Copies of this chain bind each other. A is one copy, B any other.
Amino acid sequence: MELWFTEKHTTGAGLVLKCKKTVYSAQSPFQQIDVLETEEFGRMLLLDGLVMTTERDEFIYHEMLVHPPMHIHGNARNVLVVGGGDGGAVRELLRYPCIEHVTLCEIDKEVVETAKRFFPTLSYKLEDPKVEIVYQDGSTLLKKSKNCFDLIVIDSTDPIGAAKTLFTREFYSACKKALVNKGIVCAQSESPIYHIEIIKDMISNIKAAQFDSVRPYTAPIPTYPGGFWSWMVACISGHCSDNEIPSTLPADQYAKLKYFNLDILKAAFCLPNFLKRALDKS
C-alpha cells in the first residue's frame, strides 16, 4: 500500500507527500491535530489538515521567523511568542544570551503536548526555566500587557478560524501597546505566490496601527504553498534597518544555524519585482 498525503494550496495546485504511517491523530477543543511520518520530510505536524511544520524543512521557517527581528532589535530581553506551540520559535530565541524571558502564548495546549511527545528537535527548549507557557488566545493576553515586551513574534496559522484575529488592525494596536519603546513585531505573512492580498492587508493593518515602519522579507520553504514564504518586521520607532546590526548571537550558535546568516539577513529583504510592485500599490 502507498499512502499519499495531499495538501491543496489552491483549488488547482498542491503538494503530495508519501507517508509511512499516521503517528498520531486527535481532535483538540480547537482543531484536528495529526502527525504523519513522511518518506521525504520526516515527521510532519498537521493542524486541520494543513502542513504546519516538518522535521526536514522547519529550520528555514523558524530561523527566518526569529533571527531577522532579533538582529534588527539587537538586544531583545523579554519576548512574547503568539502561537508557536511546536516550540521551534522558542528554540531559536533561546540561542541568544540577551534573552531573559520568553512568554509562549499558545491557544491549544494539545499542540504543545503533541510537539513535546513527537517533535523533540523542535520542542526541547519548552522546558527551559526562561520559558513561560500561557494557554490563552493571543489577543486576550495582549489586552492585559502594557509596555513589557521588546519583541512580539506572531507564529500563527493561516488567517482563517482561530488565528483570524491575529491579522487585524486591533491586534497590531494591542501589540504596539504591549511593546516597550523601540519594540518590534515580527509575523509570518503567508506566500507571495498565492496570498498577495493577505500580505497587502497585513501591511495596511500594521500601518493603521501606527507602527513607524514595516518591512516584508522572504525565503523558500519546500512544503509551504508555492514553496516561497514571507514574514514581516514592524518597528514602533524608526526604520527596521538591517544595517549596523550588533551581533548578539554567539559564534557557536551561528554555527548551528542551517539557513540564516548575516548575508541572508540582507538578502531576504531584497524583494522580487512582482512582489515589490504589488506592495507598492497597497
Contacts and interface: CB of A to CB of B under 8 A. Distances in A.
A271 to B, nearest CB: 8
A213 B222 CA distance: 29
Interface stretch (A94-102, A118-126, A257-265): A257-265
A207 to B, nearest CB: 22
Copies of this subunit:
2
A46 to B, nearest CB: 15
A41 interface: yes
Contacts of A260: 272-273
A135 interface: no
A189 interface: no
A193 to B, nearest CB: 5
A25 to B, nearest CB: 20
Contact of A16 (B16, B59, B261): B16
Nearest to A10: B40
A60 to B, nearest CB: 7
A13 interface: yes
Contacts of A267: 266-268, 270
A220 interface: yes
A38 interface: yes
A128 interface: no
Interface of A: 6, 8, 10-18, 38-41, 57, 59-60, 193, 218-222, 226-228, 257-261, 263-264, 266-268, 270-274, 276
